[in-house]
Amino acid sequence: MLKPLLFATGLAGVALFALGGTAQAERAVPLPVAKTDVTATGRQTAVFAGGCFWGMEAVFEHVKGVTNVTAGYAGGTRDTATYDQVSSETTKHAEAVRIVYDPAKVSYATLLRVYFSIAHDPTQLNRQGPDTGYSYRSAIFPQSAAQRGVATAYIAQLSQAHVFAKPIVTKIESGAFFPAEDYHQNFYDRNPNHPYIVTFDKPKVAAFRAGFPQLAS
């Protein structure tokens, strides 16, 4: 577990963590278009977990057709859905994002493609980059039976195509979503010089723009 330490030590203390100011290289993994998709009208919601919600939120905020992204916790109970408790790795939550989108502009399957390609690494078990623990797991929380079917089929499609060097560990889960504390919302935009954002999330957003120029807003 790393991210909680950034708050404990303060920005001056974690400056050394920023690898001498050198951002990590990121690239979007080329993935096939999903063979199935969700048919829907009106505003829809998707919930994905894949490591630190700061970077996940930042990527999906830049997707055309996405109208709102909320950082939060999924898979646990309401009474323990706080950052301090989730960071203890005892609550069964995953750091997650709730995405509100217009299906006339971007489909659920397209969001899945971004999720697997660049928003996170679906081959890392109970961790994501520098962050370790069950709360950083790769998981999809379908909001309908149709979403569950499309997500399950796409994982199978990607696994059969061997697009990743390692097996996909993403799980399909059930559970409610609870928004995180206000200071976690829009963290990328409000803290552009934070060492974690500079090192891990700015390269990810840049890679999304390069890999999906038609989707980038």
Kindly provide the b/e burial profile for residues 97-114, where b requires at least 16 CB atoms within 10 angstroms of the residue's own CB. bbbebbbeebbbbbbbbb
Centroid of chain to Cα 182: 18
Q: Which of 216, 215, 203 is nearest to 27 (CA)?
A: 203
How far apart are the C-alpha atoms of 191 and 7, rounded to whole Å? 13
Set 47, 49, 52, 66: catalytic member: 52
Cβ atoms of residues 109 and 58 within 8 Å: no
Helix 202-211 to helix 53-61 angle (10° resolution) is 30
How far apart are the C-alpha atoms of 148 and 71, rounded to whole Å? 21
Q: Between β-strands 138-140 and 44-50, what pairing exists: parallel, antiparallel or unpaired? A: antiparallel
For 132, the token pair is 């370790």
In the residue annotation, 11 being an active-site residue is answered as no
Burial of 150: CB neighbours in 10 Å, binned 0-12, 13-18, 19+: buried
Task: Report, as residue numbers or ranges, the catalytic residues.
Answer: 52
